[in-house]
């Protein structure tokens, strides 16, 4: 059973539409749809709310690289185990529109996950990864996630959030395998690009024989 859902992002107007705030987007939409409020709690340095079923939702307000402190404080206060925590975050390794669930694993350079793992002393919490795509060639991931996605990418991310919200009740109830199967199987299939027709091979031009050579071979002596 998931007892704490953490959405990762950076506080402040200048960051609210950036890729790094994908975790915030999902939790905010779930709170709005479920009818509960996320209120600022100075004790936990976060926006905190609780749904009708008793699960807690948290948006750290201490910036991404310090996300672990609010998580550690709330989890410690209520004695939540790492496996009872779900962290929702942006994922560079997935294209926009992809959403995947996993437990544990590497942090792939994500500063929010790094701090949470260090503070909890464990990687065993669950993760809901929302693809935001990779930066263009030569670009830095740290700069890329702090930029707003293009309209097409934002629409794809929103669709992934919609599909994730549809399976969140299963996750909260502890039926993780059902949630994984539903979410991963609902991923849109990419259309195959039409195969390019092979161009006919061009024959190399035959070398022209020199008239002088012909005369020497076939001319009268």
* Residue numbers annotated as active site: 20
For the packed helices 68-78 and 111-120, what is the interaxial angle rounded to 10 degrees?
30
Phi-psi region of 159 (alpha: psi -120 to 50; beta: other; left: phi over 0): alpha
Sign, CA torsion 162/10/71/33 = negative
CA angle 173, 178, 184 (to 5 degrees): 125
Residues 6+ apart with CB under 8 A from 17: 148
Rounded Cα distance, 40 and 58, in Å? 10
Q: Residues 87, 23: contact at Cβ < 8 Å?
A: yes
């Amino acid at each position: 059973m998931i007892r704490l859902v953490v959405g990762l992002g950076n506080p402040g107007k200048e960051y609210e539409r950036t890729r790094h705030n994908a975790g915030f987007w999902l939790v905010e939409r779930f709170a709005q749809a479920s009818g509960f409020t996320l209120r600022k709690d100075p004790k936990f340095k976060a926006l905190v709310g609780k749904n009708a079923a008793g699960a807690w939702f948290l948006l750290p307000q201490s910036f991404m690289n310090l996300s672990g402190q609010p998580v550690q404080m709330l989890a410690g206060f209520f004695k939540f185990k790492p496996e009872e925590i779900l962290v929702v975050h942006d994922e560079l390794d997935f294209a926009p529109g992809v959403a995947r669930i996993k437990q544990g694993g590497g942090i792939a350079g994500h500063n929010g996950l790094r701090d949470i793992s260090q503070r909890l002393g464990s990687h065993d919490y669950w993760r809901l990864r929302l693809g935001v795509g990779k930066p263009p060639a030569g670009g830095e991931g740290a700069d890329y996630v702090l930029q707003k996605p293009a309209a097409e990418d934002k629409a794809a991310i929103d669709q992934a959030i919609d599909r994730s919200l549809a399976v969140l009740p299963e996750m909260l109830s502890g039926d993780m395998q059902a949630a994984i199967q539903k979410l991963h199987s609902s991923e849109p299939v990419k259309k195959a690009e039409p195969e390019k027709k092979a161009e006919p091979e061009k024959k190399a031009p035959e070398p022209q024989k020199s008239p002088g050579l012909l005369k020497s071979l076939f001319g009268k002596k």
